[in-house]
Amino acid sequence: MADMIFYVLSDSVGETAELLGKAALSQFANQDIKIQRIPYVDDEATMVDAFNLANENNGIIAYTLVKPEFRQKMKDLSAQYNIKAIDLIGPLLEELEQHLQEKPTLQPGLVHKLDEDYYKRVEAIEFAVKYDDGRDAKGILKADLVLIGVSRTSKTPLSQFLAHKRLKVANVPIVPEVEPPEELFQVDPDKCIGLKISSEKLNHIRTERLKALGLNGSANYAKKERIQEEINYFNRVVDKIGCDTIDVSNKAVEETANVILRKLKK
């Protein structure tokens, strides 16, 4: 067979059609076939141009057009020009519609909106890692949300959970011996939340944590006097910032996250 061109038409950027075309063509190692993408097809004239090109270049056409009228026009032109045109998405949409008992939205480019959502989530996760545990105070003013709390109040897992909701979260540990960063008092108090916990619960968590590490459960880190000192200092910092607090003493990370998301919606 003479060299040919494989034209892929799409009502969006055409990446999906091209990747599928490449995957199929890779199975034919003895053929030298070039793929040419024709994106953003939204009128009949572009379709006609594609068939004229295919006619001139011994071409074949594949398309991912979600609108039924466009798919029908491609079928009509295929018959008119006697050129093979393969509908890559129509049959799948029809089968899914029957199986799901739901009409498709028929809106071009939705897959790329989903991709955008994915990248926003990844960006938020990377942000949470970079600005975890007060590692870099510059993140405080860049964040959508700042979490503060004493050690073992689930700041890190909560930051990661909220990052999966596409929120850029920085968290800052509050320790009596360490002055909080200046940025913490510059941030909008509505974007800052203190994670409050009872001294009894914190004593239990820290004691168990020390035991898990093979350390003495009676170390200063888990002593009630030390814990109360930290909580008192935390309360002073919260008062200075003027931010809301959430009691996490008996809440799972998911519960706390839901409370925060409701607050942010308000």
Binding residue numbers: 149-156
Residue-wise DSSP of 5-55: EEEEEESS--HHHHHHHHHHHTT-TT--EEEEEE----SHHHHHHHHHHHH
Other beta carbons within 10 Å of 159 = 28
Q: Residue 116's closest CA among 187, 13, 235, 202?
A: 13
Residue 128 contacts by C-beta under 8 Å, 6 or more apart in sequence? 159, 160, 162, 163, 168, 169, 170, 171
Specify the DSSP element, H or E, that contains 82. Answer: none
Specify the DSSP element, H or E, that contains 193. Answer: strand 192-196
Instruction: Name the residue type at position 138.
Output: K
Point out the annotated binding site for ADP: 149-156
